[in-house]
């Protein structure tokens, strides 16, 4: 079965056609319209409008700040949880339950999850009640409509990705390497930082890339938790398509978002490759 | 010990909002409150008797099912080609087919809207379907690609030598070997489509709406516990899907030693 070039052609025909027609061509249309005026003249004016304007840089700044912070927090919180699941949990069924609990949010709509936070973070919500009850604050903190609120929601939505990728990497670390390090006299901390952590670095990077690319393009969570008071790049682009109907300017915003995402993914995988070479070099 | 505490707190943080949503859906009050005041299932009756919710739910389910089937039809030949052939541009093709995983859905949605407007593929069911097909195909492809092994080739050859046709060989020999992966990829694809907002929102209307988009529109303007009831039903659906996957492929992949 499946040996000739002709079969190969048959196999590839449908996927290539579908992705050309419904993925590449639409993106091409957006690119062209982002470089056009309303009446079809070639121009860089749409990009000029974005890059010359302080408001846009502020929105880009907020978007990046949220994405960078959520990536860092997801790694910092995700690593201990991954460690716990892979190294500490002894009872198989409990680990299985934990993994199910970890994946359950991923299988639930962003809306549902953000909605849960809308209830929790409200003025009289559980979070404020708890903080007040513990005596940590005197009056309710405003979370909704602030970057903190969006950050809580984003971290919540993206955390499972880092736990899964780091957990996968941890589960594959060769125990002999750690034992060797301990036998040679390194302490637990030293073994972790010079053996285990570098060996799981690709998991950290993979999770970080997923989280970053999803955080930078997130729309639903910021839209729901911002209450219209904080704007991120994806919200700005969506406005142009849904209410302003300026496809040229909206296109330029979309392409900007796309370029930022791809540039960051490219940069991170370059870093990861560099790290991998480093490891081989040593 | 500290790690255990951080881990369990983090786990609680992951579960808390879902518990809250389910709790809110059971309240007797007309406003959102957690913990719920009184226990009632009446909000579930409200949504089950609301034809717009029922219709959106059906649209979402049919859309997700068709998008998943179409994604299998697109991804299966691509996976076979990439696992068994070497050809020029393979890396580029694989990057192209997997790229919807990392590219902003809102950009893909906007692009499809703008492009579809020129060919009448806008604000109708086919428009929703092609968009969802593009974003769920990578999920099926990713689970299928590692499943085609060289050993299968000899089994397939044996089947052909014994006189089976190419199609019979595919359905009787190849397919059973990739079934578990195919089903779990399909469940991922179905769920991804079922919970999508960013893409659907461009092509939905008041009469053609998906459940997440309808929720999204409701949550922004008015909130009452019926939204929590709809949300809880989707959480239930998610839980069933995960238990199915666990049963099919086992979710114990994090066990180290």
User: How many angstroms away from the CA of A147 is the closest CA of chain B?
Assistant: 18
Nearest to B57 by CA among B229, B241, B187: B229
Is residue B255 situated within a structural domain?
Answer: yes
Are residue B209 and residue B230 in the same domain, yes or no?
no
Radius of gyration of chain A (CA): 23
Is residue A176 situated within a structural domain?
Answer: yes
Q: How confident is the model at residue A268 (pLDDT cuts 50, 70, 90)?
A: confident
Give the pair of three-digit tokens for residue B174: 């190849």
Is residue B3 situated within a structural domain?
Answer: no
The domain in which residue B99 lies consists of 58-222
Q: How confident is the model at residue A256 (pLDDT cuts 50, 70, 90)?
A: confident
User: How many angstroms away from the CA of B234 is the closest CA of chain A?
Assistant: 7
pTM: 0.84
Is residue A174 situated within a structural domain?
Answer: yes
CATH number at residue A222: 1.10.3720.10
Is residue B95 situated within a structural domain?
Answer: yes
Q: For residue B160, give every residue at least 6 positions away whose Cβ sits within 8 Å of its Cβ, in sequence order, or none.
A: A1, B166, B169
pLDDT over 70 at A1, yes or no: no
In angstroms, rounded to a whole number, what is the distance separating the alpha carbons of residues B201 and B199? 6
Is residue A32 situated within a structural domain?
Answer: no
Is residue B157 situated within a structural domain?
Answer: yes
Pick from B34, B81, B96: which is nearest to A19 by CB? B96
What is the per-residue pLDDT across A147-206, written as a single tens digit (0 to 9) for each? 999 999 999 989 998 998 898 888 888 888 888 888 888 888 888 888 888 888 888 888
What is the per-residue pLDDT across B172-181, written as a single tens digit (0 to 9) for each? 888 888 887 7
In the prediction, which pLDDT does B255 show?
Answer: 62
The domain in which residue A76 lies consists of 49-281
Name the DSSP class of B118: T
Is residue B109 situated within a structural domain?
Answer: yes
Are residue B75 and residue B39 in the same domain, yes or no?
no
User: How many angstroms away from the CA of A2 is the closest CA of chain B?
Assistant: 8
* Interval A235-251 mean pLDDT: 83
Contact across the interface for A104 and B115, Cβ inside 8 Å: no
Q: Which segment, A33-42, A208-217, A253-262, B60-69, is predicted with the most confidence on average?
A: B60-69
Pick from A26, A95, A210: which is nearest to B252 by CB? A95
Mean of all residue pLDDT scores within chain A: 85
Is residue A17 situated within a structural domain?
Answer: no
Give the pair of three-digit tokens for residue B4: 């255990």
pLDDT over 50 at A80, yes or no: yes
Q: How confident is the model at residue A2 (pLDDT cuts 50, 70, 90)?
A: very low
Are residue B131 and residue B240 in the same domain, yes or no?
no
Is residue B9 situated within a structural domain?
Answer: no
Q: Report B:110-149 residues touching A (Cβ under 8 A).
A: 110-116, 118, 130-131, 133-134, 137
In the prediction, which pLDDT does B4 show?
Answer: 87
Contact across the interface for B107 and A14, Cβ inside 8 Å: no
Is residue B4 situated within a structural domain?
Answer: no
Pick from B24, B220, B242: which is nearest to A107 by CB? B242
Are residue B120 and residue B243 in the same domain, yes or no?
no
Give the pair of three-digit tokens for residue B200: 């659907």
CB A151 within 8 A of CB A66: yes
What is the b/e burial string over A187-200, where b = at least 16 CB atoms within 10 angstroms of the residue's CB? Answer: eeeebbeebbebbb
Contact across the interface for B11 and A175, Cβ inside 8 Å: no
Are residue B234 and residue B164 in the same domain, yes or no?
no
Number of domains in chain A: 1
CB pairs under 8 A between A and B: 283
Are residue B27 and residue B65 in the same domain, yes or no?
no
In angstroms, rounded to a whole number, what is the distance separating the alpha carbons of residues B42 and A115? 20
In angstroms, rounded to a whole number, what is the distance separating the alpha carbons of residues B253 and A163? 12
Pick from A105, A114, A241: which is nearest to B110 by CB? A241
CATH number at residue B62: 1.10.3720.10
What is the per-residue pLDDT across B228-257, written as a single tens digit (0 to 9) for each? 888 898 888 888 888 888 887 776 666 654
Contact across the interface for A112 and B215, Cβ inside 8 Å: yes
Q: Report B:182-221 residues touching A (Cβ under 8 A).
A: 191, 194-195, 197-198, 201-202, 211-212, 215-216, 219-220
Interface probe with B: pick from A24, A112, A208, most Cβ of B within 10 Å: A112
Contact across the interface for B246 and A96, Cβ inside 8 Å: yes
In the prediction, which pLDDT does A28 show?
Answer: 92
DSSP string, B159-223: HHHTT--HHHHIIIIIHHHHHHHHHHHHHHHHHHHHT--TTGGGT--SSS--HHHHHHHHHHH--
Is residue B206 situated within a structural domain?
Answer: yes
Residues of B within 8 A of A117 (CB-CB) are 17
pLDDT over 70 for what percent of chain B?
96
Pick from B102, B111, B256: which is nearest to A86 by CB? B256
Are residue B123 and residue B43 in the same domain, yes or no?
no
User: How many angstroms away from the CA of A157 is the closest CA of chain B?
Assistant: 8
pLDDT over 70 at A275, yes or no: no
In the prediction, which pLDDT does A75 show?
Answer: 94
Contact across the interface for B87 and A8, Cβ inside 8 Å: yes
Number of domains in chain B: 2
Are residue B125 and residue B235 in the same domain, yes or no?
no
Residues of B within 8 A of A156 (CB-CB) are 13-14, 17
Are residue B163 and residue B136 in the same domain, yes or no?
yes
Is residue A33 situated within a structural domain?
Answer: no
Are residue B137 and residue B75 in the same domain, yes or no?
yes
Is residue A162 situated within a structural domain?
Answer: yes
Contact across the interface for A126 and B195, Cβ inside 8 Å: no
Q: Report A:83-112 residues touching B (Cβ under 8 A).
A: 83-88, 92, 95-96, 98-105, 107-112
SS3 content of chain A, % helix, strand, coil (to 5): 80, 0, 20
Are residue B196 and residue B170 in the same domain, yes or no?
yes
What is the per-residue pLDDT across A54-64, written as a single tens digit (0 to 9) for each? 888 899 899 99
What is the per-residue pLDDT across A6-35, written as a single tens digit (0 to 9) for each? 888 888 999 999 999 999 999 998 898 888
Those residues of chain B that have pLDDT short of 50 are: 257
The interface predicted TM-score (ipTM) is 0.83
Q: How far is CA B222 from CA A268, B83, B87, B149, B252, in A?
A: 41, 50, 55, 53, 41
Are residue B23 and residue B100 in the same domain, yes or no?
no
Name the DSSP class of A280: H
In the prediction, which pLDDT does A3 show?
Answer: 57
């Amino acid at each position: 079965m499946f040996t000739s070039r002709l079969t190969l052609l048959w196999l590839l025909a449908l996927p290539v056609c579908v992705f050309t027609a419904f993925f590449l061509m639409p993106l091409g249309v957006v690119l062209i319209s982002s470089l056009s005026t309303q009446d079809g003249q070639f121009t860089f004016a749409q990009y000029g409008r974005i890059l010359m304007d302080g408001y846009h840089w502020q929105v880009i700044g907020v978007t990046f700040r949220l994405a960078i912070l959520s990536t860092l927090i997801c790694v910092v919180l995700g690593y201990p949880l991954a460690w716990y699941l892979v190294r500490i949990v002894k009872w198989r069924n409990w680990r299985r339950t934990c993994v199910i609990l970890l994946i359950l949010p991923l299988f639930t709509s962003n809306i549902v999850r953000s909605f849960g936070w809308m209830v929790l973070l409200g003025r009289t919500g559980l979070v404020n009640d708890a903080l007040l009850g513990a005596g940590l604050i005197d009056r309710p903190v405003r979370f909704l409509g602030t970057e903190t609120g969006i950050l809580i929601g984003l971290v919540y939505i993206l955390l499972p990705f880092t736990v899964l990728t780091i957990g996968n990497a941890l589960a594959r670390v060769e125990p002999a390497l750690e034992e060797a390090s301990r036998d040679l006299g390194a302490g637990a901390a030293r073994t972790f930082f010079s053996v285990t952590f570098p060996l799981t670095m690709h998991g950290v990077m993979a999770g970080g890339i997923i989280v970053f690319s999803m955080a930078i393009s997130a729309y639903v969570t910021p839209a729901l938790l911002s209450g219209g008071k904080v704007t991120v790049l994806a919200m700005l682009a969506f406005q142009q398509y849904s209410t302003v109907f300026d496809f040229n300017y909206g296109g330029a915003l979309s392409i900007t978002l796309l370029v930022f995402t791809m540039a960051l993914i490219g940069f991170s995988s370059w870093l990861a490759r560099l790290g991998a070479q480093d490891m081989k070099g040593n | 010990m500290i790690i255990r505490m951080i881990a369990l707190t983090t786990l609680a943080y992951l579960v808390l909002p879902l518990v809250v949503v389910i709790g809110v859906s059971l309240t007797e009050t007309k406003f959102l409150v957690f913990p719920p005041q009184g226990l009632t299932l009446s909000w579930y009756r409200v949504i089950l008797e609301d034809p717009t919710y029922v219709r959106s739910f059906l649209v979402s389910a049919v859309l997700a099912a068709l998008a998943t089937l179409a994604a299998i039809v697109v991804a299966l030949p691509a996976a076979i080609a990439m696992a068994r052939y070497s050809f020029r541009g393979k890396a580029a093709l694989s990057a192209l087919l997997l790229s919807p995983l990392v590219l902003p859905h809102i950009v893909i949605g906007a692009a499809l809207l703008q492009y579809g407007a020129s060919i009448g593929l806008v604000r109708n069911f086919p428009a929703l379907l092609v968009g969802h097909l593009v974003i769920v195909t990578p999920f099926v492809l990713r689970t299928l690609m590692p499943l085609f092994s060289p050993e299968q080739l000899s089994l397939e050859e044996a089947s052909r030598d014994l006189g089976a046709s190419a199609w019979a060989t595919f359905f009787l020999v190849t397919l059973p070997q990739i079934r578990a992966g195919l089903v779990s990829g399909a469940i991922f694809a179905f769920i991804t489509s079922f919970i999508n907002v960013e893409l659907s929102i461009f092509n939905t209307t008041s009469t053609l709406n998906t459940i997440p988009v309808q929720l999204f529109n409701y949550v922004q303007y008015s909130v009452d516990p019926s939204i929590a009831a709809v949300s809880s039903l989707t959480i239930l659906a998610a839980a069933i899907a995960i238990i199915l996957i666990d049963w099919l492929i086992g979710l114990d992949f994090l066990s180290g030693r």
